[in-house]
Amino acid sequence: MTVAGERVTPVLDIGGTHVTAALVDLEAGRVAPGTTRRRNLDGDAPARVLLDLIVGCASDVAAPGGAAWGVAVPGPFDYREGIARFEGVGKFDALNGVDVGAVLRQELPGRPRTVTFVNDAIAFAVGEWAFGSGRGHDRMVGITLGTGVGSGFLDDGSPVASGPHVPVRGEVYQLRINGRPLEDTVSRRALLRDYARLTPGSPCMDVRDMAVRASHGDAAADQVLRTAFTRLGLALAPWLNRFGATALVVGGSMSQSWDLVHPSLMAGIHASPHDVPNLRVLPARDSEGSALLGAGWRANTASRS
2-119 and 133-284, same CATH topology: yes
Whether the CB-CB separation of 154 and 217 falls below 8 Å is answered with no
In this predicted structure, the answer to whether residue 303 has a pLDDT above a threshold of 80 is: no
**71-110: per-residue pLDDT in tens?**
999 989 999 999 999 987 778 999 999 999 999 999 998 8
Considering the chain, what percentage of its residues have pLDDT values greater than 90?
Answer: 71
Distance (Å, whole) CA 261 – CA 113: 42
Domain 133-284 has CATH 3.20.20.120: no
Domain residue ranges of the chain, discontinuous segments joined by +: 2-119, 133-284
**249-268: per-residue pLDDT in tens?**
999 888 888 998 999 999 99
Domain 2-119 has CATH 2.60.120.330: no
Q: In Å, how far are 14, 37, 59, 228, 300 from 41, measured between CA atoms?
A: 9, 13, 16, 29, 27
Question: Per-residue confidence at 2, pLDDT binned at 50, 70, 90?
Answer: very low
Question: Per-residue confidence at 4, pLDDT binned at 50, 70, 90?
Answer: very low
Distance (Å, whole) CA 176 – CA 47: 34
Q: What is the pTM of this model?
A: 0.92
